Structure 1
């Protein structure tokens, strides 16, 4: 039976409620010094604010080595009443030091599988997806290594694979590797940041493959992509791909949290949802937020 693997155990896909399909409660990147998401109190406040807007679930895409704080997630889920999904995986090479990458050589898929089945570190919290990353319009050797390990972990466990697309690019290269070379079923792949490159032709090609497409996070630099996002969602819905669409807030810095004056998780429901209702109608937006995440992150777990 299909299930979504949350930090409190497996749940039925239909029990997620309104879902933020791509976000971060804890995260730290060397590209964003001084803006780390480290505060447990701030994470709790952000989840509470999301819950007050009607939110029911958050999929945290923070992978290995970037401050996941997996041991803190179960208590946050219980205290706020929000389902949480944790991630294993590996981001781009620039986010890690050489010692970290050296320790993972030859055993990356093994680490992913262990975190999906046994738990992350000593926390006992099992990851519910593998998060990896592509590059800007291309795939370097690191990206191909991590995609290969993610595919191996999928075939061992059934886990869904979520992919950070750098500025929304490299879509077809990622699918060629994951679904072509490594034969991952497309419906087990979630492509992130499609909103950052509003190429409607590529979006449609990706949707035709059978994968899920995530539109996640207000822009910090390319503001034209924000007002074009409803157009992209409408184009995919009109083409019959409304069941492949996901929405997320992708909060990656402390300043971006709503409790610090930024948009944060609540913005997804407070502003993005009504804007999309205007574009594609209330019923489709309801399904994008409540039904599609269960299909994307629910799977027949093998281990």
Structure 2
């Protein structure tokens, strides 16, 4: 018998149909000395964001903050319970610049990184930045990794190999940060072509930051999900192309592979999750129609994050 597909949230596994309208790429908590500006670390602000998003019809949020970057899993639980918004937590690892070198040396021993990812997906996330320290009861529902600007370095290949191993052990989807929207073809070639992760388990992020219609069509033709997340102050130059990129992909038959997210990375860095429903949603309805927008916000995320969990 085939296992039922579920979405793993911080409050437990749910039927994908119960996910509702989903911000498919965002952050409530995020911390790194390599990121500009103050960290996202305000509990009251996180609750206020989810409340405003919920009041506009939002039902779920995928929280792409990976291990070691201040994801605050227990606060995700509290915020989800208080607001009723489903939250999907992430395991994974970002670019090398965000981590202490000694921590990375520890994780490079044997299969430690893949084992960390699997443990966080199946048993519970690390309570802090120590992979061998105490664990919460919160299980991650996805893996977050990151490419580099127009290429992949050794760190990226190591992390993506571990992510592929964890995917094969659990079935978890993999969300990818593409630096300035670049190197998506390289990521697809590595994760899908070399490491055997099904394209349908890959969520290619930040593609609005690199508005290349031909490249977008190639990525969609491979079967991956394409995430358009923003707008943001840091990447506002490409915000104007987001709607056009979505319309172009939909016109080529790829409506079922498109995801929307707000990707707030610092206080004041963008209008946040409520913008998706207050501004972006109605704008897209005028361009694509209600059925297509329902797919982008509801049906597609339910498919993208649904897993027949192996463990």
Tell me which interval the TM-score lies in, with the shorter structure as reference length.
over 0.9
Q: Distance in 1 between matches of 2:143 and 2:292?
A: 27
Q: Distance in 1 between matches of 2:274 and 2:6?
A: 26
- Scaled by the length of structure 2, the TM-score of the pair is 0.93
Structure 1 residues without counterparts, runs of 5 or longer: 257-261
Q: How do residues 1-303 of structure 1 correspond to structure 2 at under 5 angstroms?
A: 1-106=4-109, 107-121=112-126, 122-256=135-269, 263-303=271-311
Q: Answer yes or no: is the 8 Å Cα contact 2:232–2:271 preserved in 1.
A: no
Q: Distance in 2 between matches of 1:123 and 1:41?
A: 21
> Alignment length, in residue pairs?
298
Q: Answer yes or no: is the 8 Å Cα contact 1:231–1:279 preserved in 2.
A: no
Match of 1:259 in 2: none
Q: Distance in 1 between matches of 2:91 and 2:237?
A: 32
Q: Distance in 2 between matches of 1:49 and 1:114?
A: 33
Q: Secondary structure at the match of 2:62?
A: strand
User: In the TM superposition, what is the alpha-carbon distance from 1:75 to its structure 2 partner?
Assistant: 1.7
Q: 1:159/1:292 Cα in 2 relative to 1: closer, same or farther (>3 Å)? A: same
Q: Answer yes or no: is the 8 Å Cα contact 1:35–1:255 preserved in 2.
A: no
User: In the TM superposition, what is the alpha-carbon distance from 1:39 to its structure 2 partner?
Assistant: 1.3
* C-alpha RMSD of the superposition: 1.1
User: In the TM superposition, what is the alpha-carbon distance from 1:32 to its structure 2 partner?
Assistant: 2.8
User: In the TM superposition, what is the alpha-carbon distance from 1:148 to its structure 2 partner?
Assistant: 0.3
Q: 1:239/1:34 Cα in 2 relative to 1: closer, same or farther (>3 Å)? A: closer
User: In the TM superposition, what is the alpha-carbon distance from 1:226 to its structure 2 partner?
Assistant: 1.3
User: In the TM superposition, what is the alpha-carbon distance from 1:96 to its structure 2 partner?
Assistant: 1.0
Q: Answer yes or no: is the 8 Å Cα contact 2:7–2:307 preserved in 1.
A: yes
Post-superposition Cα deviations, 1:5-55, rounded to whole Å, max 9, x if no partner, equal: 000111111111110000001101223355111111111111101111110
Q: Distance in 1 between matches of 2:236 and 2:42?
A: 28
**Moved runs in structure 1, 4+ residues, more than 4 A?**
none
Q: Answer yes or no: is the 8 Å Cα contact 2:50–2:83 preserved in 1.
A: yes
Q: Distance in 1 between matches of 2:36 and 2:103?
A: 19
Q: Distance in 1 between matches of 2:235 and 2:119?
A: 38
Q: Distance in 2 between matches of 1:255 and 1:214?
A: 21
Q: Answer yes or no: is the 8 Å Cα contact 2:172–2:309 preserved in 1.
A: yes
Structure 2 residues without counterparts, runs of 5 or longer: 127-134
- Scaled by the length of structure 1, the TM-score of the pair is 0.96
